Structure 1
Amino acid sequence: MTTTAAHPPAIKLGLRANLAQFSLLVAVNALVGAMIGQERTVLPLLADQVFAIGAFTASLTFIVAFGVTKALTNLAAGTLSDRYGRKPVLVAGWLIGLPVPLLLIWAPSWGWVIAANILLGINQGLTWSTTIVMKIDLVGPARRGLAMGLNEAAGYLALAATALATGWLAAEHGLRPVPFYLGIAFAALGLGLSTVFVRETRGHARHEAANHTPRNTGDHDELTGRQIFTLTSFKEKALSAASQAGLVNNLNDGLAWGLYPILFATSGIGVARIGVLVALYPAVWGLGQTLTGWLSDHWGRKWLIAAGMLLQAAGIAVVAAATGFTPWAVAAVLMGAGTALVYPTLLAVIGDVAHPAWRARAVGVYRLWRDLGYAVGAILAGITADLFGLQPAIWIIAAITAASGLVVAVRMYETHPRGQRMPRPAPVQG
């Protein structure tokens, strides 16, 4: 008699074929995003009003700690998920995230906040990286942009909603502890769903690799970690252009996370309205990705990314040039729209170019560079703000962002199969 154990169900790639698991992973990533959202409005204000940290550079140390830790964890997550499977890495990420809201509630000194953000960086690196890889595993090449759009939309819409909610809770009940009660619930729910209901997807990646048709002789299925790092970071034109754009994108996000709430507060805007401004940027970002990921599957990747970086630069320039709730809200919309064009599309580029056998590690390298942007942005913005003031710091970030868009326009080639014919990748050195 035929049994399920003897004949496991055939693996199928595609969004529709894996809709239940895909939808569950979207929900899990929403909880991952919400873990960051608990900090976005409240933590910069805690630095200023509770811990009385005057220097911008010092107050942004929590973002540096988060960014460096998350970046390094992203790099490890790809290797770990290839070696041990996706699900164990996802569950481990949630276990590490459980203490974060408790540390933020009880923190007697700024050192505790930094420690919490180190744990948060590990949590985000393991969980967000893994949900990305698992969705890429499930959907296959045809709907990769849409899959990344839905993944990132869930994470950043949840981030925005939580930033808005914590701003309101802080206005009503104070900066601590009530706003961080949400984080306790998010971590517990994420751990429960990942442990009980999420299924392993590494078999889907193996299935795709077994049926993978190489684009050219440079499409190798077996590379060392060093070779993958070199290709993704420097040598392969599309991968390296995506890596630098990802770094600059999160450099912007570090600026918005660390300095915007302080800038808004110094203009006399109340905590609840600061929460609205802080939430608006990721809300537009999150909503837009449901469209832009799909568009990149039909129009191609390159020019969406280049346009998105330039649109972000325009939004940052408006923040520097204008004052008041309304122009800053317009700037937040511009930044959110630009980031929506960029964020899922960059991940789709990595999925397009990297071989299925080493794609998880390539995603890890890309996310290493992308999330180092948090640290680079916090340090650059903090030092510049301390030396010259908030507005000059913001203008510098706007210029860097525009330059990144030009790099994409010049260096990146179209990677989507419906787009232009891809050039041959740089040869792999042994």
Structure 2
Amino acid sequence: MSRDRRRSTTSPRPIRLGLGPNLAQFSLLVAVNALVGGMVGQQQTVLPLLASGEFRLTGYTFIFTYVAAFGITKAAANYFAGTWSDRFGRKPVLLVGWLFAIPVPLMLIAAPNWWWVVAANVLLGINQGLTWSTTVVMKIDLVGPARRGLAMGLNEAAGYGAVAVSSLMAGYLADQYGLRPAPFLLGLAYTALALLLSGVFIRETRDHARLEATQHTPRADGMHDHLHADLTNRQIAAATSFTEPALSSASQAGLVNNLNFGLSWGLFPLLFATAELGAGQIGVLFALYPGVWGAGQLVTGALSDRIGRKHLITAGMTLQAAALALIAASHGFTGWAAGTVLLGAGTAMVYPTLLAVIGDVAHPAWRGRAVGIYRVWRDSGYAVGAILGGIVADLMGLHAAVWGAAAVSAASALAVAVRMYETHPRPVNTSTQRAPRG
């Protein structure tokens, strides 16, 4: 009897799907993802000013090299994050990702030339790809199918809310203490805290995905029947990139969304500086975009669980196009502030919803790889936006580059409207859904 009692006290806790049963782990992952976003926010306001002020760089294309380097390496890291998390587990990938973050703020503080900044952003891209992709997959693992939109809304709200707060803090520190080293001390603190949380308190979630796979049932309408559990990596990549209408539509919309973000990252501070705004005002403008984006996802992620995914994505891409047009047509703080708020709102409608689409369609057995491939396409947008934005800005001016992004966003909205189908199996109030009988 006593031996049985001892065995029962040491047996592993049962695995359950859902936000309620996994709230503690889910909350820790939200906190970790906020730290991931903070690593980007510490530099967004400061690096364009550092490029033009301290390193005396001219030519927008050259200044945007750090955004392109970040986007390319983050896109590649997303692929490996998905593949490795399915093969080795989620937690080891998360830890490795944070190890790559350690040198980043130190290199930015010590950088004697611009290529140190580019190299630091290569490491930051690896950090972001491995850690952000893994926290996305882990949250989807924990919550199960019913609350994917809510889970992704909370995840992305934490990450991009932290981008906004850190951008604001970095702008303030730069105003008060100079461009270096004060703003980058934030990154050192974020990395230390993230390594502690990830190494000591975060638990592996791959068994949650395996449990969901045993409960997986085909859709009643027959969609996804060809997307069975034992697809090869090549088949998963082809479906996510080109052949499956919802997955590939999500990939192209994600790329355009981050094209806008990459463009804003490198170009907006320079555009705002043409009105002779100070670093503090530029920091406010730059924080509005991810701030509204982050806070809005607290609503839009859960909303997609209630009304479905497709129309929210279409409307969000359309709103982004309108916001960019307003920014391009403006020449002062008021117009730019209104445009960045609208851009954040449109992005909030799209960002968690696209991830929910991937979770809806991908089988639990290869979900990590599908998320990774989607994020390869999405985060390639950083590089595309930075390079194309820089070229257009050099040839035709800053405002012309923003007009171009507005046109691309409108085309993306049209493509989603035509090609994507509704992926949420029952776009109704999830509180009324019941488990199927049988």
Fold-level similarity (TM above 0.5): yes
Q: Secondary structure at the match of 1:150?
A: helix
Is 2:180 aligned against 1:211? no
**Counterpart AA for 2:343:** M
Find the counterpart in structure 1 of residue 261 from structure 2: 253
Q: CA deviation at 1:245?
A: 0.1
Is 2:166 aligned against 1:166? no
Is 2:367 aligned against 1:359? yes
The one-character-per-residue Cα deviations of 1:304-361 (angstroms, maximum 9, x if unpaired) are 0000001011111111101111110000110000000000000000000000000110
CA distance in 2, matches of 1:24, 1:4: 27
- Asked if the contact 2:136–2:152 (Cα under 8 Å) also holds between the matched residues in 1, the reply is yes
Moved more, 311-320 or 291-300: 311-320
- Asked if the contact 2:289–2:344 (Cα under 8 Å) also holds between the matched residues in 1, the reply is yes
Q: Which runs of 5+ in 1 are unaligned?
A: 421-430
Find the counterpart in structure 2 of residue 143 from structure 1: 147
Is 2:101 aligned against 1:97? yes
**Counterpart AA for 1:382:** G
Is 2:243 aligned against 1:239? no
CA distance in 2, matches of 1:168, 1:419: 43
Is 2:301 aligned against 1:297? no
Is 2:329 aligned against 1:325? no
Is 2:23 aligned against 1:23? no
CA distance in 1, matches of 2:155, 2:230: 28
- Asked if the contact 2:241–2:251 (Cα under 8 Å) also holds between the matched residues in 1, the reply is yes
Specify which of 83, 89, 95 is matched with residue 85 of structure 1.
89
**Counterpart AA for 2:402:** I
**Counterpart AA for 1:137:** D
Is 2:350 aligned against 1:346? no
Q: CA deviation at 1:214?
A: 2.3
CA distance in 2, matches of 1:5, 1:399: 61
- Asked if the contact 2:245–2:420 (Cα under 8 Å) also holds between the matched residues in 1, the reply is yes
Find the counterpart in structure 1 of residue 292 from structure 2: 284
Q: CA deviation at 1:251?
A: 0.1
The one-character-per-residue Cα deviations of 1:4-57 (angstroms, maximum 9, x if unpaired) are 587422210000010000000000000000000011100111111111110100
CA distance in 2, matches of 1:307, 1:170: 37
**Counterpart AA for 2:133:** S
Specify which of 114, 123, 130 is matched with residue 127 of structure 2.
123
Q: CA deviation at 1:267?
A: 1.2
Q: CA deviation at 1:219?
A: 3.0
Moved beyond 4 Å, runs of 4+: none
Find the counterpart in structure 2 of residue 196 from structure 1: 200
Q: Secondary structure at the match of 2:228?
A: coil
Q: Secondary structure at the match of 1:97?
A: coil
Q: CA deviation at 1:418?
A: 1.0
Is 2:390 aligned against 1:382? yes
Q: Secondary structure at the match of 2:277?
A: coil
**Counterpart AA for 2:143:** V
The one-character-per-residue Cα deviations of 1:116-165 (angstroms, maximum 9, x if unpaired) are 00000000000000000000000000000000000000000011000000
**Counterpart AA for 2:337:** A
Find the counterpart in structure 2 of residue 183 from structure 1: 187
Specify which of 62, 83, 86 is matched with residue 66 of structure 2.
62
- Asked if the contact 2:305–2:427 (Cα under 8 Å) also holds between the matched residues in 1, the reply is no
**Counterpart AA for 2:365:** A
How many aligned positions are there? 420
Q: Given the superposition, is the C-alpha separation of residues 267 and 205 from structure 1 closer, same or farther in structure 2, using an over 3 Å criterion?
A: same
Q: CA deviation at 1:419?
A: 3.6
**Counterpart AA for 1:257:** W
CA distance in 1, matches of 2:9, 2:85: 24
CA distance in 2, matches of 1:413, 1:263: 38
**TM-score, length-scaled by structure 1:** 0.96
**Counterpart AA for 2:329:** A
Find the counterpart in structure 2 of residue 110 from structure 1: 114
Specify which of 301, 306, 314 is matched with residue 322 of structure 2.
314
**Counterpart AA for 1:322:** S
Find the counterpart in structure 2 of residue 426 from structure 1: none
Q: Which runs of 5+ in 2 are unaligned?
A: 429-438
- Asked if the contact 2:261–2:382 (Cα under 8 Å) also holds between the matched residues in 1, the reply is yes
Find the counterpart in structure 2 of residue 335 from structure 1: 343
Q: Given the superposition, is the C-alpha separation of residues 54 and 4 from structure 1 closer, same or farther in structure 2, using an over 3 Å criterion?
A: farther
CA distance in 2, matches of 1:263, 1:327: 12
CA distance in 1, matches of 2:192, 2:15: 31
**Counterpart AA for 1:373:** G
CA distance in 2, matches of 1:111, 1:291: 40
